[in-house]
Structure 1
Amino acid sequence: MVDLSAFTRPVGRLMATAQNGLEVLRYGGLETGALPSPFQIVESVPMYRLRRYFPPDVRPGAAEPGPPVLMVHPMMMSADMWDVTRAEGAVGILHAAGIDPWVIDFGSPDEVEGGMQRNLSDHIVALSEAVDTVKKLTDSDVHLAGYSQGGMFCYQAAAFRRSEGIASIVAFGSPVDTLAALPFNLPAGLAVGAADFMADHVFSRIDIPGWMARTGFQLLDPIKTAQSRVEFVRQLHDREALLPREQQRRFLASDGYIAWSGPAIAELLKQFIAHNRMMSGGFSIRGDLVTLADIDCPILAVVGEVDDIGQPASVRGIRRASPQADVYEYLIRAGHFGLVVGSRAADQTWPTVAGWVKWLSGDGRMPSDVVPMALQPPQGSDTGVPLTSRLVHGAGAAAELTFNVARSAADAFITANKSARALVVETARTLPRLARLGQINDHTRISLGRIMSEQAVATPEGEFLLFDGRVHTYEAVDRRINNVVRGLISVGVRQGAHVGVLMETRPSALVAIAALSRLGAVAVLMPPDADLAEAARLGGVSDVIADPGNLDAATRLPLRVLVLGGGENRDLDPQGNPNVVDMERIDPDVVALPGWYRPNPGFAKDLAYVAFATVGGALVARQITNFRWALSAFGTASAANLERGDTVYCLTPLHHQSGLLVSVGGAVVGGTRIALSRGLRPDRFVHELRQYGVTVVSYTWAMLRDVVDDPSFVLNGTHPVRLFIGSGMPTGLWKRIEEEFAPAHIVEFFATTDGQAVLANVSGAKIGSEGRPLPGGGRVELAAYDVDDDLILEEDSGFVRLADTNEVGVLLAHPRGPVDPRASIKRGVFAPADFWVSTEYLFRRDADGDFWLVDHRGSVIRTERGPVFSATVNDAAGRIGAVDLAATYEVKVDDRALAVTALALAPGGSVPTADLNEALATLPAGVHPDVVHVVPDMKLSASYRPLLGPLRSGGLPKPSRNAWYRDDDTGVYKRLTAAVRTELLGEGSAR
Structure 2
Amino acid sequence: MSWRSGDRVSVKERALAHFSFVTGPVSRLLATAQNGLEVLRYGGLETGAVPSPFQIVESVPMYRLRRYFPPDSRPGGKPAGPPVLMVHPMMMSADMWDVTRNEGAVGILHAAGVDPWVIDFGSPDQVEGGMQRNLADHVVALSEAIDTVKKVTDRDVHLAGYSQGGMFAYQTAAYRRSKDLASIVAFGSPVDTLAALPMNLPAGLAVGAADFMADHVFSRLDVPGWLARTGFQMLDPIKTAQSRLDFLRQLHDREALLPREQQRRFLASDGWIAWSGPAIAELLKQFIAHNRMMSGGFSIRGDLVTLADIDCPVLAVVGEVDDIGQPASVRGIKRASPQAEVFEYLIRTGHFGLVVGSKAASQTWPTVAAWVRWISGDGEMPQDVVPMALQPDQATDTGVPLASRVAHGAGAAAEVTFSVARSAAGAFVAANKSARALVAETARTLPRLARLGQINDHTRISLGRIMTEQARSTPGGEFLLFDGRVHTYEAVDRRVDNVVRGLIQVGVRQGAHVGVLMETRPSALVAIAALSRLGAVAVLMPPDADLHEAARLGAISDVIADPVHLEAATALPMRVLVLGGGESRDLEFADDADVVDMEQIDPDVVSLPGWYRPDPGYAKDLAYIAFATVGGELVARQITNFRWALSAIGTASAANLGNGDTVYCLTPLHHQSGLLVSLGGAVVGGTRIALSRGLRPDRFVHELRQYGVTVVSYTWAMLRDVIDDPAFVLNGTHPVRLFIGSGMPTGLWGRVEEEFAPAHVVEFFATTDGQAVLANVAGAKIGSEGRPLPGGGHIELAAYDAEDDLILEDDRGFVALAATNEVGVLLAHPRGPVDPTASVKRGVFAPADLWVSTEYLFRRDEDGDYWLVANRGSLIRTPRGPVFGDAVNDTLGRIDAVDLAVTYRVPAGERELAVSALLLRPGGSVPTADLNAAIVNLPVGSAPDVVHVVTDMTLSATYRPLLGPLRSAGIPKGSRHAWYLDEDGTYKRLTAAVRAELTASADE
Is TM (by shorter chain) over 0.5?
Answer: yes
1:939 match:
954
Q: 1:273 to 1:379 in 2, by over 3 A?
A: closer
User: Secondary structure at 1:721's aligned position in 2?
Assistant: coil
1:65 match:
80
User: Is it true that 1:408 corresponds to 2:423 in the alignment?
Assistant: yes
Instruction: Report the alpha carbon displacement of residue 981 of structure 1 after superposing the two structures with TM.
Output: 2.0
User: Is it true that 1:948 corresponds to 2:968 in the alignment?
Assistant: no
Instruction: Report the alpha carbon displacement of residue 864 of structure 1 after superposing the two structures with TM.
Output: 1.2
Q: 1:550 to 1:464 in 2, by over 3 A?
A: same
1:134 is aligned, of 149, 162, 165, to 149
Instruction: Report the alpha carbon displacement of residue 808 of structure 1 after superposing the two structures with TM.
Output: 0.5
- Sequence identity (%): 84
Distance, in Å, in 2 between the alignment partners of 1:227 and 1:59 is: 41
1:795-806 maps to which residues of 2 (within 5 A)?
795-806=810-821
Distance, in Å, in 1 between the alignment partners of 2:395 and 2:673 is: 42
User: Is it true that 1:703 corresponds to 2:711 in the alignment?
Assistant: no
Instruction: Report the alpha carbon displacement of residue 62 of structure 1 after superposing the two structures with TM.
Output: 2.3
Number of equivalent positions: 989
User: Is it true that 1:181 corresponds to 2:196 in the alignment?
Assistant: yes
Q: 1:229 to 1:760 in 2, by over 3 A?
A: same
- Residue by residue over 1:284-308, the C-alpha shift from the partner in whole angstroms, topping out at 9 and shown as x without a partner, is 0000000000000000000000000
User: Is it true that 1:197 corresponds to 2:217 in the alignment?
Assistant: no
1:671-750 maps to which residues of 2 (within 5 A)?
671-750=686-765
Instruction: Report the alpha carbon displacement of residue 571 of structure 1 after superposing the two structures with TM.
Output: 4.5
Q: 1:713 to 1:122 in 2, by over 3 A?
A: same
- Residue by residue over 1:961-990, the C-alpha shift from the partner in whole angstroms, topping out at 9 and shown as x without a partner, is 221111222x21122222222233335459
1:879 is aligned, of 894, 900, 904, to 894
1:813 match:
828
1:570-585 maps to which residues of 2 (within 5 A)?
570-573=585-588, 576-577=591-592, 579-585=594-600
User: Is it true that 1:792 corresponds to 2:807 in the alignment?
Assistant: yes
1:307 match:
322
1:76 match:
91
Instruction: Report the alpha carbon displacement of residue 104 of structure 1 after superposing the two structures with TM.
Output: 0.1
Distance, in Å, in 1 between the alignment partners of 2:588 and 2:119 is: 53
1:504 is aligned, of 495, 498, 519, to 519
Q: 1:360 to 1:419 in 2, by over 3 A?
A: closer
Instruction: Report the alpha carbon displacement of residue 895 of structure 1 after superposing the two structures with TM.
Output: 2.1
Do the aligned partners of 1:938 and 1:947 also contact (CA within 8 Å) in 2?
yes
1:91-110 maps to which residues of 2 (within 5 A)?
91-110=106-125
1:781 match:
796
Of the structure 1 ranges 975-984 and 639-648, higher mean CA displacement relative to structure 2 is found in 975-984
1:369-518 maps to which residues of 2 (within 5 A)?
369-376=384-391, 383-518=398-533
Do the aligned partners of 1:568 and 1:585 also contact (CA within 8 Å) in 2?
no
1:977 match:
991
Q: 1:515 to 1:393 in 2, by over 3 A?
A: same
1:540 match:
555
2:663 is aligned, of 641, 648, 671, to 648
Instruction: Report the alpha carbon displacement of residue 381 of structure 1 after superposing the two structures with TM.
Output: 6.1
For 1:602, the aligned partner's letter is G
User: Secondary structure at 1:986's aligned position in 2?
Assistant: helix
Instruction: Report the alpha carbon displacement of residue 425 of structure 1 after superposing the two structures with TM.
Output: 2.4
Instruction: Report the alpha carbon displacement of residue 735 of structure 1 after superposing the two structures with TM.
Output: 0.3
Instruction: Report the alpha carbon displacement of residue 446 of structure 1 after superposing the two structures with TM.
Output: 0.2
Distance, in Å, in 2 between the alignment partners of 1:938 and 1:604 is: 40
Instruction: Report the alpha carbon displacement of residue 938 of structure 1 after superposing the two structures with TM.
Output: 1.1
Do the aligned partners of 1:57 and 1:63 also contact (CA within 8 Å) in 2?
no
TM-score (norm 2): 0.97
1:616 match:
631
Q: 1:960 to 1:573 in 2, by over 3 A?
A: closer
1:957 is aligned, of 972, 978, 992, to 972
- Residue by residue over 1:124-166, the C-alpha shift from the partner in whole angstroms, topping out at 9 and shown as x without a partner, is 0000000000000000000000000000000000000000000
2:132 is aligned, of 111, 114, 117, to 117
Do the aligned partners of 1:632 and 1:666 also contact (CA within 8 Å) in 2?
yes
Do the aligned partners of 2:464 and 2:532 also contact (CA within 8 Å) in 1?
yes
User: Is it true that 1:635 corresponds to 2:650 in the alignment?
Assistant: yes
Distance, in Å, in 1 between the alignment partners of 2:424 and 2:72 is: 62
- Residue by residue over 1:933-952, the C-alpha shift from the partner in whole angstroms, topping out at 9 and shown as x without a partner, is 11112111111101111111
1:148-227 maps to which residues of 2 (within 5 A)?
148-227=163-242
Distance, in Å, in 1 between the alignment partners of 2:485 and 2:413 is: 51
Distance, in Å, in 2 between the alignment partners of 1:461 and 1:731 is: 41
Distance, in Å, in 2 between the alignment partners of 1:63 and 1:257 is: 35
Do the aligned partners of 2:747 and 2:900 also contact (CA within 8 Å) in 1?
yes
Distance, in Å, in 2 between the alignment partners of 1:197 and 1:978 is: 72
2:367 match:
352
Q: 1:751 to 1:379 in 2, by over 3 A?
A: closer
Of the structure 1 ranges 910-919 and 442-451, higher mean CA displacement relative to structure 2 is found in 910-919
Distance, in Å, in 2 between the alignment partners of 1:644 and 1:958 is: 55
Distance, in Å, in 2 between the alignment partners of 1:265 and 1:347 is: 34
- Residue by residue over 1:523-550, the C-alpha shift from the partner in whole angstroms, topping out at 9 and shown as x without a partner, is 0000111111110000000000000000
- Residue by residue over 1:813-845, the C-alpha shift from the partner in whole angstroms, topping out at 9 and shown as x without a partner, is 000011110100000000000000000000010
- Residue by residue over 1:285-336, the C-alpha shift from the partner in whole angstroms, topping out at 9 and shown as x without a partner, is 0000000000000000000000000000000000000000000000000100
Instruction: Report the alpha carbon displacement of residue 412 of structure 1 after superposing the two structures with TM.
Output: 3.4
Distance, in Å, in 2 between the alignment partners of 1:636 and 1:378 is: 26
For 2:131, the aligned partner's letter is M
User: Is it true that 1:596 corresponds to 2:618 in the alignment?
Assistant: no
User: Secondary structure at 1:159's aligned position in 2?
Assistant: helix
Distance, in Å, in 2 between the alignment partners of 1:404 and 1:577 is: 81
Instruction: Report the alpha carbon displacement of residue 894 of structure 1 after superposing the two structures with TM.
Output: 2.1
Instruction: Report the alpha carbon displacement of residue 385 of structure 1 after superposing the two structures with TM.
Output: 0.4
User: Is it true that 1:290 corresponds to 2:305 in the alignment?
Assistant: yes
For 2:62, the aligned partner's letter is M
For 2:663, the aligned partner's letter is V
1:51 match:
66
Instruction: Report the alpha carbon displacement of residue 906 of structure 1 after superposing the two structures with TM.
Output: 1.7
Do the aligned partners of 2:826 and 2:857 also contact (CA within 8 Å) in 1?
yes
Do the aligned partners of 2:52 and 2:98 also contact (CA within 8 Å) in 1?
yes
Q: 1:244 to 1:931 in 2, by over 3 A?
A: same
2:930 match:
915
Of the structure 1 ranges 882-891 and 344-353, higher mean CA displacement relative to structure 2 is found in 882-891
Distance, in Å, in 2 between the alignment partners of 1:708 and 1:108 is: 50
1:898 is aligned, of 913, 927, 938, to 913
Do the aligned partners of 2:516 and 2:538 also contact (CA within 8 Å) in 1?
yes
User: Is it true that 1:246 corresponds to 2:250 in the alignment?
Assistant: no
2:786 match:
771
Q: 1:989 to 1:99 in 2, by over 3 A?
A: farther
Could you tell me which runs of 5 or more consecutive residues in structure 2 were left unpaired when the two chains were aligned: 1-11
Instruction: Report the alpha carbon displacement of residue 956 of structure 1 after superposing the two structures with TM.
Output: 1.4
Distance, in Å, in 2 between the alignment partners of 1:396 and 1:188 is: 28
User: Secondary structure at 2:851's aligned position in 1?
Assistant: strand
User: Secondary structure at 1:961's aligned position in 2?
Assistant: strand
Do the aligned partners of 2:202 and 2:429 also contact (CA within 8 Å) in 1?
no
For 2:564, the aligned partner's letter is G
Distance, in Å, in 2 between the alignment partners of 1:366 and 1:25 is: 47
Of the structure 1 ranges 571-580 and 143-152, higher mean CA displacement relative to structure 2 is found in 571-580
Instruction: Report the alpha carbon displacement of residue 854 of structure 1 after superposing the two structures with TM.
Output: 0.8
